[in-house]
Amino acid sequence: MATLDLQPKENKSPSAQATITGAEAVVRSLLAEGVDIAFGYPGGAIMPVYDALYDYQDKLHHVLARHEQGAIHAAQGYARASGKVGVCLATSGPGATNLITGIADAQIDSTPLVCITGQVPSALLGSDAFQETDVIGISMPVTKWNYQVTSAEEIPSALAKAFYIARSGRPGPVLIDITKDAQFQQLDFSYQACNFIRSYREEPTIYLDKIKEAADAINSAERPFVLFGQGVILANAEEEFRQFIEKANLPAAWTILGLSALETEHPLNVGMLGMHGNYGPNLLTNECDVLIAVGMRFDDRVTGNLSKYAKQAKVIHLEIDPAEINKNVYAHIPVMGNAKKTLPLITELLQPNSHADWLARFKACDDLEHEKVIQEELHPKHDVLSMGEVIHILNEKTGGDAIIVTDVGQHQMVACRYAEFVRSKSNITSGGLGTMGFGLPAALGAALGAPDRTVVCVVGDGGLQMTIQELATIHQTQAKVKVLLLNNEFLGMVRQWQQLFFDKRYSSTEMINPDFQQLAKGFRMKTNQVTHRDQLDEALTEFITSEGSYFLEVMVGKENNVFPMVPSGSGVAEIRLE
């Protein structure tokens, strides 16, 4: 079998050699990578690593989740809030398979993770031993890289590679599977960080002719329109991006993962793209003459029907992953590279322009959307509470300076539409995979990854019940997670589709729920419930100002819908306001 023989090109001074167990080498490798927190769940095949962790509790804090799925979503939340690699530990078999949803989520949302799983002893591989699964085979389609370690000597180099691959280029999840015998074996430990793999290119070459072509196209555009995604955040290119759009007054709209890269109140921030995005950005996608996509991948939830998507526009695509170029939308001018490097090169060549008439179009669309949708959502005239008004008042309480973590569904769309942001890395949501159950554990991870910030977990009654056990982890860690349950007693998004497209046949979407107040109390949380509008303001003040974690449940309209909406299969310009 092949071994890892690829040594880093430039070696940092290796740590002093010492003979230790493979398990301790795992912990020492994590420390060498600057890891001070890991999320996981122990079990037979990973026990030697947990035993080694016992000696390093002061340096490496282990968060004991209540389910491996909780552990990995927490690691994702941690990574997204801190910008560091999230680390997750699990045992073999069910421990490892319980990670898969989170790994798939991290893969599609480009989240840097290193997952370490225990495996049965190498002599038992393939024998269907107790808690044996082929986690390398299972995780291969959803990892950026994975590797099985069967001898202790491989541990430092495998982990060094894992961290390098997870965080470099387009980030993603990596899984390292370590057989139990390798954890017990002794090795002469020394750690060399990896910064080079000969078969792997972090970033594609930047072609200056494409930079020039892109700038020329923008300079000659009458109706340029910028779409930005998480690529801006992952590249730490928020400032470069701002300078880029400001130089020529380019209206900019965000994907759900690009949210918070540009503050909400920025005059060029024209709102959200896609299925439940804002009216202007969707409608005007089909009227712009130059479409500039920055660090986004034209997901179908953004584009709607591709045959009716921006056919009139010249498309410029700034992208770090060459496989994304022309994948969904043809790029007339592909600008490959890291946005932090390519954006300033383009900005330098841009000519100032006011684009006043074009920007006024977005304003007009915005006014119409306010009149038709937003006004009623944020200030409902009837008694039933709306999700939008809750988020609207939440904004006043946080000043837009909270990390908003959401689950998946109607509340997610409402939170992303109406939450306000003043700084980046503040919106954490499962975008690509749409993983219900993501929110609560991700919020826990975010709270531990950004301990100085207020973390609000906006969650629905459906998704909350998928990972509700992590309330116990929140209690045990004393993480300051503020859980805002928007309870409509329905799987609201599915119900909305059933209403609109399945003739109101509400098949298996009504939830007969437990008493969430009693449940949260059982998890030893401060709780409150809002059933009427006159309680809302005070309850949200208490929610935000109260020290530590808090569970606030707001009973919202059972059959409210999220609008605007681009129905599945329709073009973006066919967006419905009602």
Partner 1 sequence: MEKQEFTITVYTENQVGLLHRITTTFTKRKINLESLTTSESEIPGIHRFTIAVTETEEQVVKVVKQIEKQVEVLKADFYKKKEVVQQELALYKIATETLTNGLEVERIVREHNARFLTIEKEFVVIEKSGYRRETKALFDELEPYGIKEFVRSGRIAVARQQFGPGKDIESMLQQHES
- C-beta separation of 23 from 154 below 8 A: no
Task: Give yes or no for a cis peptide into 564 (omega within 30° of 0).
Answer: yes
Q: What is the DSSP string of 310-323?
A: STTSEEEEEES-GG
Please tell me the count of residues contacting partner 1 according to CB under 8 A: 24
Considering only 112-120, 319-327, 435-443, 494-502, which stretch makes contact with partner 1 by CB under 8 A? 319-327
According to the binding rule CB under 8 A, does residue 323 interact with partner 1?
A: yes
Q: Does the annotation mark 225 as catalytic?
A: no
Task: Tell which one of 61, 84, 327, 370 touches partner 1 (CB under 8 A).
Answer: 327
Q: Which of 69, 107, 146, 426 binds partner 1 (CB under 8 A)?
A: 146
Which DSSP symbol is given to 469?
T
Cβ neighbour number for residue 42 with a 10 Å cutoff? 18
CA distances from 81 to 111, 112, 223, 260, 451 (A): 11, 12, 35, 12, 10
Q: Which stretch binds partner 1 (CB under 8 A): 186-194, 196-204, 383-391, 524-532?
A: 196-204
130 is catalytic: yes
Does 196 bind partner 1 (CB under 8 A)? Our answer is yes
Which residues, 6 or more positions from 95, have their beta carbon under 8 angstroms from its beta carbon? 41, 43, 45, 46, 68, 117, 118, 131
Regarding 205 and contact with partner 1 (CB under 8 A), the answer is no
For the chain, the straight-line distance linking the first and the last C-alpha, in angstroms and rounded, comes to 61
Chosen residue from 200, 207, 497, 506 binding partner 1 by CB under 8 A:
200
- The CA-based angle 37-450-482, given to 5 degrees, is 105
The least CB distance from residue 143 to partner 1, in Å, is: 9
Kindly name the residue from 272, 387, 436, 493 that is annotated as catalytic.
Answer: 493
Q: In whole angstroms, how close is the CB of 172 to partner 1 at the nearest point?
A: 10
Among 187-195, 315-323, 347-355, 375-383, which window interacts with partner 1 (CB under 8 A)?
315-323
Q: What is the rounded distance in angstroms from the CA atom of residue 554 to the CA atom of residue 76?
A: 27
- DSSP label of 404: E
Please select the residue that binds partner 1; options are 13, 19, 57, 199, rule is CB under 8 A.
Answer: 199
- Whether 298 sits among the annotated catalytic residues: the reply is no
Shortest Cβ 144–partner 1 spacing (Å)? 7
Q: How far is the CB of 241 from partner 1 (least distance, A)?
A: 24
Q: Do 467 and 437 touch, CB atoms closer than 8 A?
A: yes
Minimum distance, C-beta of residue 147 to partner 1, in the bound complex (Å): 8
Q: Which amino acid is at 443?
A: A
Q: Is 332 a binder of partner 1 (CB under 8 A)?
A: no
9 near partner 1, judged by CB under 8 A: yes
Report the SS3 class of residue 411. Answer: helix
Minimal distance, residue 1 CB to partner 1, in Å = 5
Indicate if 502 belongs to the active site. no
Residue for token digits 């750690």? Answer: 191
Does 141 interact with partner 1 (rule: CB under 8 A)? yes
Give the one residue of 165, 234, 316, 556 binding partner 1; rule: CB under 8 A.
165
- From the list 173, 174, 38, the residue with the least C-alpha distance to 106 is 173
Interstrand relation of 186-189 and 18-21 (parallel, antiparallel or unpaired): antiparallel
Other CB atoms within 10 A of residue 430 CB? 29
Structure-token match 């993480």, residue found: 479
Q: Which helix (H) or strand (E) holds 156?
A: helix 154-167
Catalytic (active site) residue 131: yes
Does 136 sit near partner 1 (CB under 8 A)? yes
- Residues 14-43: x/- map of binding to partner 1 (CB under 8 A)? ------------------------------
For tokens 């729920």, the residue is 513
3-state secondary structure 86-143: EEEEECCCHHHHCCHHHHHHHHHCCCCEEEEEEECCHHHCCCCCCCCCCHHHHHHHHC
Binding of residue 198 to partner 1 (CB under 8 A): yes
Please tell me the distance from the alpha carbon of residue 88 to that of residue 530, in angstroms, as a whole number: 36
C-alpha span between 477 and 71 (Å, rounded): 13
Per CB under 8 A, 307 contacts partner 1: no
Site membership for partner 1, residue 69 (CB under 8 A): no
Site residues (CB under 8 A) for partner 1, limited to 467-506: none
Shortest Cβ 278–partner 1 spacing (Å)? 30
Which of the residues 144, 161, 180, 425 is marked catalytic? 180
321 is a site residue for partner 1 (CB under 8 A): yes
Taking the complex as a whole, how short is the minimal distance between the CB of residue 126 and partner 1, in angstroms?
Answer: 13
Residue 56 lies near partner 1 (rule: CB under 8 A): no
Q: What residues make contact with partner 1 under the rule CB under 8 A?
A: 1-2, 6, 9, 136-137, 140-141, 144-146, 148, 165, 196-200, 321-323, 325-327
Catalytically active residues are 68, 130-131, 180, 493
